[in-house]
Amino acid sequence: MSQTSVVDLLAELVAFDTTSHLTNLPLIDFVADYLASHGVASRRIVDETGEKANLYATIGPAERAGVMLSGHTDVVPVSGQNWSVDPFQLTADGERLYGRGTADMKGFLAVVLAAVPALVEAKLAVPVHLAFSHDEEVGCLGVRTLLDDLAHQPVRPAACLVGEPTSMRLATSHKGKLAVRLHLRGKACHSGMAPEGVNAIHAASHLIGWVENKAREKAAEGPFDERFAIAHTTLQVGTVQGGAALNIVPQNCSFDLEIRNVPEDDAEALLAELMELASSLEKQMRSSHSEAGIHLERLTDYPGLSMDDDHGMVEFILALLGERTRERIGFGTEGGLFQRELGLPTLVCGPGSMAQGHQPDEFVTREQLTRCENFLAGLIAALEDPEARRLVENGFSTAAKA
């Protein structure tokens, strides 16, 4: 696996504008053709619009469960950002390679694709599965059809490695996320007659106050998971919209709430608490105006990821990385869905840093790509070992017997 081939592939991938609101099919076509040129068959799982697709492929003995390398193909928007280079053309400047998605996470995809010839030539005792998804950046939406597809396959992966940017350090956990929008409808009237109206903003303030108080409670009382930089569940209101003019009692107000929960906490239970308060508030509003009300709109949600630090897969990957560090990351991934929906032991490790992800002049370093190349070379060698089959089939337990 040469550095040049990785950079060339990264340039190809970056050139596809796969911002989440756009189609990713041209990139999927490119990957499918690339795999086919190396004799690797792939299949697509197309979404209901026909404009986006996940891609799945297996290299090695297809009748066995293997290790899945997972990454998303979509990127966040560049609108409103001040870029000094073309975000959709890879720009090299010494050690840094600039372009949208270089860190999050087309750098990983490029390294995986560059490893395909070596994977094809290897005598793998355990297969490697490739899973490239869409719409991760807007709530891990696209991967769900892939999960459903895999759940109905006779052979599914035994483990998953998500290549999100962790600076090639192994991450075993991340928080879950639940995002909702609450719509409040009151009754408008002239502000001089305010008692005859139902002020939607005032009503919303009661719910927002609950969020603020609950956030303080979580910070003070937990539950706590000291593995995270912020060791407790966080709640915050990110946007509020409402009102038409100062002299009109506002009829409408909406706000967006985000909950990022530690694995030990239950985001749905917190939302239920809030909606119990909302139900009581709605009754008060309707006592003044029968058409008043509160409506909940779910935006996105995904579960947290939580792997035991002493899990056999953790030890397996750490040995390949040549280090002992275990990270807990502050951003979410599709890993929690693989763990929850398919029961797969799942870890996160990939080139680049999320400090550059989503930023203008996003970049990944050559050193990070090289480290990822070396890691995949080690993974291939490990999966050629006849003992790898027993190890994987036994859930990476070195103590288990064949």
C-alpha R_g of the chain: 24
Q: What is the CATH number of the domain that holds 215?
A: 3.30.70.360
Tokens of 40: 């690797």
User: Coil, strand, or helix at residue 9?
Assistant: helix
Q: Identify whether residues 170 and 76 lie together within a single domain.
A: yes
Q: In this predicted model, what pLDDT tens digit does every residue of 10-57 receive, in sequence order?
A: 999 999 999 999 999 999 999 999 999 999 999 999 999 999 999 999
User: What is the pLDDT confidence band of residue 397, given thresholds at 50, 70 and 90?
Assistant: confident
> What does pTM read for this prediction?
0.89
Q: Identify whether residues 122 and 221 lie together within a single domain.
A: no
Q: Where are the alpha helices (DSSP H) in 115-199?
A: 116-121, 143-151
**Nearest C-alpha neighbor of 307 from the set 112, 129, 141, 160:** 160
The residue from 259, 280, 302 where one domain ends is 302
Q: In this predicted model, what pLDDT tens digit does every residue of 68-82 receive, in sequence order?
A: 999 999 999 999 999
User: Coil, strand, or helix at residue 224?
Assistant: strand
* Span 201-215, average pLDDT: 98
CA distance 287 to 132: 52
Q: What is the CATH number of the domain that holds 384?
A: 3.40.630.10
Tokens of 61: 């003995």
Contacts of 374 (CB under 8 A, 6+ apart): none
* Span 331-340, average pLDDT: 94
* Span 174-181, average pLDDT: 96
**Nearest C-alpha neighbor of 115 from the set 59, 171, 188:** 59
CA distance 292 to 306: 42
Q: With 80 as the cut, is the pLDDT of residue 247 above it? A: yes
Residue 285 covered by a domain: yes
User: In this predicted structure, what is the pLDDT of residue 4?
Assistant: 54
User: In this predicted structure, what is the pLDDT of residue 395?
Assistant: 87
Q: Identify whether residues 63 and 84 lie together within a single domain.
A: yes
Query: Whole-number mean pLDDT of the chain?
Result: 95
CA distance 135 to 133: 7
Q: Identify whether residues 122 and 190 lie together within a single domain.
A: no
Q: Indicate which residues carry an active-site annotation.
A: 74, 136
Q: Identify whether residues 367 and 255 lie together within a single domain.
A: no
CA distance 363 to 352: 8
Q: Identify whether residues 164 and 199 lie together within a single domain.
A: no
**Nearest C-alpha neighbor of 234 from the set 243, 242, 223, 247:** 223
240 strand-pairing partners: 255
Q: Identify whether residues 310 and 279 lie together within a single domain.
A: no
CA distance 137 to 16: 16
User: In this predicted structure, what is the pLDDT of residue 1?
Assistant: 43
CA distance 151 to 342: 7
Domain that holds residue 218: 176-302
Residue 401 covered by a domain: no
The residue from 271, 302, 333 where one domain ends is 302
Q: In this predicted model, what pLDDT tens digit does every residue of 122-170 receive, in sequence order?
A: 999 999 999 999 999 999 999 999 999 999 999 999 999 999 999 999 9
User: In this predicted structure, what is the pLDDT of residue 402?
Assistant: 37
User: In this predicted structure, what is the pLDDT of residue 2?
Assistant: 41
CA distance 368 to 279: 51
User: What is the pLDDT confidence band of residue 324, given thresholds at 50, 70 and 90?
Assistant: confident
